[in-house]
Amino acid sequence: MNSIVSGPAPDVALADALPRLGFGVGLRNCHYEWLLKNDLDLTHEPSQSPQVDWFEIISENFMDNHGFARYMLDRVRERYPVVMHGVSLSIGSSDPLNREYIDGLKVLIDHVKPAWISDHICWTGIAGVNTHDLLPLPYTEASLRHVVQRVNEVQDILQRPLILENPSTYLQFKSSDMSEWQFINALCEETGCGLLLDVNNVFVSAFNHGYDPEHYIRSLPHDRIVQMHLAGPTHCGSHMIDTHDTEVPRQVWKLYQLAQSLVPDCSTLLEWDANIPAFPVLVDELNKARQALSGELPGTDLEYQPPASGQAAPTVVSTPIHHNLQVEYAESD
Ligand SMILES: [Fe+2]
């Protein structure tokens, strides 16, 4: 593993150095009962039922958790590959790296032995305050130097490459003098880190900022992409919000087809974090990814649905806030 830690990207494609896992979903506590009743055996004849090949966990939900959630995690990892996905590394913050958090991550890594670990190209707080949101970075040479140094530091501590996800964003910095894809290319090249391509995030950010999502995907370092995310956002008319609370729209499936043509067999994960459906429905949605790769274009186009006259537009929040509120409510029950 040391040969692909920290420093300029080696000649070998990271996508070739890590396993290709197939099609997976996030492990969520609302599905524990279903998973236990079905003996965690989701593998059937393809003609009978789609299968889940792997699970992704939110790392923070299992750090310092040795209760039922940890029990379920252990049952799942007995049968399936597991990937750890974090939301609190805050790799772009000007706060010092949170060593307590990273040490906790390392303990969980030693236990789970994930195929890889990921987080986001973002910052989540400042002065020790966690906003529980994934905030955008200015794309400048100075912030690139800052993030490169911190990614290298984290990779040296964890002794493995970090896989970082492109964020969904709602604002851009006037000071940015490079595009997001240029920033990502330089970050991957200088640190050897990998990329988790969230196709839905590209769709959301491209709409919000008015750039071409296909050009974005074509411009990425494809040999560094080891995983893709799919999710459904909310169209708010003037902008889109990354809500993870609905089906994947057709526009995202189309971008996914493009991404998979550039990175064949890339591990695919369906994210659904609010208004989460029953597990079989989730798997049906995941199965559309297989459909998409066979040439069909699933889903329906996402269009703005204005509120009925006299009704106020519903409040829409992005997933990290939603997710953390759910966790807090669950803990206070
Ligand atoms: Fe994502």
Q: pLDDT tens for residues 140-179? A: 999 999 999 999 999 999 999 999 999 999 999 999 999 9
In a domain, residue 4? The reply is no
How much is the pLDDT for 3?
42
CA of 2 to the centre of ligand 1 (A): 27
Strand stretches in the chain, DSSP E:
23-26, 54-58, 82-85, 117-120, 123-126, 129-135, 162-165, 194-198, 225-230, 234-235, 240-241, 267-270
In a domain, residue 76? The reply is yes
In a domain, residue 156? The reply is yes
Rounded to the nearest angstrom, the gap between the alpha carbon of residue 2 and the centroid of all alpha carbons in its chain is 24
How much is the pLDDT for 257?
98
CA gap 4, 152 in Å, rounded: 11
In a domain, residue 227? The reply is yes
In a domain, residue 121? The reply is yes
Q: What is the pTM of this model?
A: 0.91
CA gap 232, 245 in Å, rounded: 6
Angle at alpha carbon of residue 132, lines to 126 and 138, rounded to 5°: 55
CA of 310 to the centre of ligand 1 (A): 35
CA of 242 to the centre of ligand 1 (A): 9
In a domain, residue 14? The reply is no
Output the domain CATH number for residue 64: 3.20.20.150
For the segment 3-49, what is each residue's pLDDT rounded down to a tens digit? 445 666 665 688 889 999 999 999 999 999 999 888 676 555 544 54
Per the structure, the complete domain to which residue 242 belongs is given by: 20-40+47-307+314-332
Over residues 223-252, the mean pLDDT reads 95
Q: How many CB atoms lie within 10 A of CB 166?
A: 24
CA of 46 to the centre of ligand 1 (A): 27
In a domain, residue 80? The reply is yes
How much is the pLDDT for 312?
77
How many domains does the chain fold into?
1
CA gap 166, 116 in Å, rounded: 16
CA of 311 to the centre of ligand 1 (A): 31
CA of 234 to the centre of ligand 1 (A): 14
* 26 three-class SS: strand
Helices (H), 124-278: 141-158, 180-191, 199-209, 213-218, 250-262
In a domain, residue 6? The reply is no
